Structure 1
Amino acid sequence: MAFNLFRWLFGKETESKKVDMKAVYYNLASEIYIRELAFNIITNKIANVLSKCEVNVYEKNKKMKNEEWYRWNIQPNKNQNATEFRNKLIYRLFHDNEALIVVNSKELYVADSFFVNDEKAFFEHTFENVQVDNFTFGRKLTMSEVFYFKLSSSDIKSLLDSTLQLYGKLINAAYSNYLVSNGNKGMLYVDQFAEQQDDFEDTLNEMLNEDFKKFFSGSNAVMPMYQGFKYEELKNTGNQVTTRDFKALLDDVIHITANAFGVPKSIANGDVQDTSKAIDEFLTFCIDPLIELLTDEINRKLFSMFQILNGYSIKFDTKAIKHIDLLDVATAIDKLISSGCFCVNDIRRVLGEDEIDEDWANQFFMTKNYTAIEDLIKEMKGGGKDEQRKILSTQKKFRRPKS
């Protein structure tokens, strides 16, 4: 053995010791899993709602179904459909606080990683090391070549992870308390007769490591006790910890995550009470701002200022987000058509029904109950001079002759 000068001088062991990192890895992994579970629950709900929105393309204020409509609604690229594409876009946007869509051979791809160079305030920003799956672009991409979305000025995901670290530790503590509270505990008494046996250590190890393990894990089990051994079970006199304590903390993590991204608590939990009100709040504070962010960026990159001023644009249609029961909305359908606000095919599209290939299905109708305000005022005042002449001539015609 080599001479250790420091141990000889100070009388201390200076050799390196191995540290058991299993417990550290377990606690760290469980905290990450809990945060990622809550994050994926919320982002999946947002992506599922966005996938129900049709992207309408307008040319000169007329709705069109062209190549652009096909790319955003059916197949953005040869490897993804529109739903998969939007799911990846939402995940990257909320996970990284920014997302990048690149165009390659008229196909759309969501970048997995990139570096944005935004140091030059008055010059076009560029993107370097743009990677899609295992392919990396070998050149810089300019802002005008891509669709770049940024969620907010601060990285909400990083702030959220830092906030939820404490909850991860609390959940680990609740899990440990649950195991301690609901575990089997007892006292094993060993007398001198058993200790004096030659095979005492082997018998004791076999009993503790094998026999008791099978006895506690089995639903029906018998524990043989050797001579000189006596087992006495200890009853838990403290408060019984249940899985409800664990679930309550997990619900807190989900609620905090949902609140950070503008998702109502009832939608995050999957509750069915007041679903309509919750969806309205969900649309107002989460989906509508998100759609506005996507629409602004897509429009300014697809169309020039001249085209936008002349009715070229894309719009996300959010009317299909809510599930519609025909029997519940029958009265509303009648009012929408009879007021001249929508035609029959407009209503059928919202309901998810096939359009009718007839001219009358695209016409607008209005009942006679509706009239112009000017005509109503004239009627209330007794009509104009022409109307008064008609009334007088009618009265003369049907006036009885004098006897």
Structure 2
Amino acid sequence: MFDVEFFQDTSTRIHMKKLAFDTCVSFLGRTISQSEFRIKDGKEFIKDELYHRLNVRPNKNMTASTFWQTFVHKLVYDNECLIIQADDGDLLIADDFEHNEYAVLEDTFTKVKVKEYEFKRSFRQNEVIHLRYKNENLSPLIDGLFSDYGDLFGRILNAQKRKNQVRATVDMDMLAAKSEQHQKKLQEFIDNMYKAIGEKDVAIIPQQPGFKYSEQTNGGGSVNGQSVDEVNRVTNGFLDQVAMAMGIPTSLLHGDMADVEKQTKNYMLFTVSPLLKKIKDQADVKFFTQDDYLKGKCIDIWQVSYQNVFDLATAIDKIRASGVMNGNEIRSKFGLERVDDPLLDKYVMTKNYSEVLEGGENE
């Protein structure tokens, strides 16, 4: 990543920006890559070549998990991402392209470049999967935050270096160092002494006539510890701001265990699900015609679950016993395929939920 910060005052702090941005993008990319892209035909799920490309091998050089992580990185960094399908069916992520937008005509994409190869043809909007991450580019916001946090981070680091700096004074009798040979030996002795102090845990300095070395202390250890906490607070503060801009709960990034289920639910509902919905809408347009879609053929994305099905066993039993859903409908809610069993297609209701007749007997 070539940033203009390399030529600015905050150039030495660029790692803080990359660390925060990469942490958030990688977190979102790992979540999306665990999703399963299913081909739905009516009530049935089919496994065909398209299913294999979306979930196993999109192209000759990538697995599905790597493909979707790369897709999310490209989408967030550039605020848009383009997936094209080559003549042999491979799904490729474009590194560069030109988007030709029209008011009433279909948009086209030209000069599409994948690595070092540039396609000579143009691609229509319904032939590609093209997504925008947000209406506005996220980079100016991150750059503005980094300009302030980077300067503050640099100042705290410089203050920390000054507090931990070893300061010493050397008193010399100049009468003993008048000759050039004496001065050369004395300078060599001082250089070796400084090197020993800087590199060795224990440095023994022999006493010399006309030469006295003494170190100056600069505060206690508590002040230094406080500065380290300040560095961590600034770094975490910048990370939290980037995470908020991307809709990622900060507690999940920091590994906090308090209300982790609620935070995960909000993350999946308000950040992951909208992004998967964008991918689904584009994939439906790309791979299916209008007639196919109206007949029930579409992409069904099953996102990674944060709940254990065994923990919900009581709730499942209540839903089944109340007759709200049959067995196959409940299985589909948990990402399980339908089973060709007449019992699972029936709606059952236990006596507790059945209507009581006038005679006092259950219906």
* Alpha-carbon spacing, 1:125–1:237, altered in 2? closer, same or farther (3 Å): same
Aligned to 1:202: 184
| Pair 1:136 & 2:121 matched | no
Aligned length: 352
Gaps of 5+ in 1: 1-23, 389-403
Contact 1:50–1:86 (CA<8 Å) still a contact in 2?
yes
CA RMSD of aligned residues (A): 3.0
| Pair 1:193 & 2:175 matched | yes
Give the deviation of 1:39 after TM superposition.
Answer: 1.0
Aligned to 1:263: 248
| Pair 1:80 & 2:65 matched | no
48, 54, 62: which one pairs with 2:44?
62
Structural mapping, 1:309-324, within 5 Å? 309-318=294-303, 320-322=304-306, 324=308
Distance 1:227 1:344 in 2: 94
| Pair 1:298 & 2:280 matched | no
Once the two structures are superposed, what CA deviation does each residue of 1:52-79 show, in whole Å capped at 9, x if it has no partner?
Answer: 2211221124322222222211111121
Once the two structures are superposed, what CA deviation does each residue of 1:305-339 show, in whole Å capped at 9, x if it has no partner?
Answer: 22222211112112x3315273x333234334444
Contact 1:53–1:317 (CA<8 Å) still a contact in 2?
yes
Distance 1:257 1:294 in 2: 23
Distance 1:31 1:171 in 2: 8
Structural mapping, 1:54-203, within 5 Å? 54-104=36-86, 105-118=88-101, 120-203=102-185
Contact 2:84–2:92 (CA<8 Å) still a contact in 1?
yes
Equivalent AA in structure 2 for residue 154 of structure 1: E
* Stretch moving more, 189-198 or 66-75: 189-198
Contact 2:126–2:285 (CA<8 Å) still a contact in 1?
no
Once the two structures are superposed, what CA deviation does each residue of 1:324-382 show, in whole Å capped at 9, x if it has no partner?
Answer: 273x3332343344445352796599488xx898737854563413656xx45xx3xx3
* Alpha-carbon spacing, 1:285–1:225, altered in 2? closer, same or farther (3 Å): farther
Aligned to 1:331: 314
Contact 2:327–2:344 (CA<8 Å) still a contact in 1?
yes
Aligned to 2:293: 308
Structural mapping, 1:222-233, within 5 Å? 222-233=204-215
Contact 2:302–2:335 (CA<8 Å) still a contact in 1?
no
* Percent of matched pairs sharing the same residue: 25
Give the deviation of 1:123 after TM superposition.
Answer: 1.9
Gaps of 5+ in 2: 1-5
Structural mapping, 1:381-392, within 5 Å? 382=358
Distance 2:316 2:216 in 1: 69
Structural mapping, 1:391-402, within 5 Å? none
* Alpha-carbon spacing, 1:193–1:151, altered in 2? closer, same or farther (3 Å): same
* Stretch moving more, 252-261 or 45-54: 45-54
Distance 2:309 2:163 in 1: 49
Q: TM-score, normalised by structure 1?
A: 0.78
Q: TM-score, normalised by structure 2?
A: 0.86
SS in 2 for 1:314: strand
Once the two structures are superposed, what CA deviation does each residue of 1:147-188 show, in whole Å capped at 9, x if it has no partner?
Answer: 110112210123212321221222222222211111211111
* Alpha-carbon spacing, 1:298–1:196, altered in 2? closer, same or farther (3 Å): same
* Alpha-carbon spacing, 1:90–1:316, altered in 2? closer, same or farther (3 Å): same
Give the deviation of 1:131 after TM superposition.
Answer: 1.5
Distance 2:339 2:210 in 1: 93
Once the two structures are superposed, what CA deviation does each residue of 1:219-254 show, in whole Å capped at 9, x if it has no partner?
Answer: 122123422111121111384354222111110111
Distance 2:98 2:161 in 1: 46
Distance 1:190 1:225 in 2: 12
Rg comparison, structure with higher value: 1
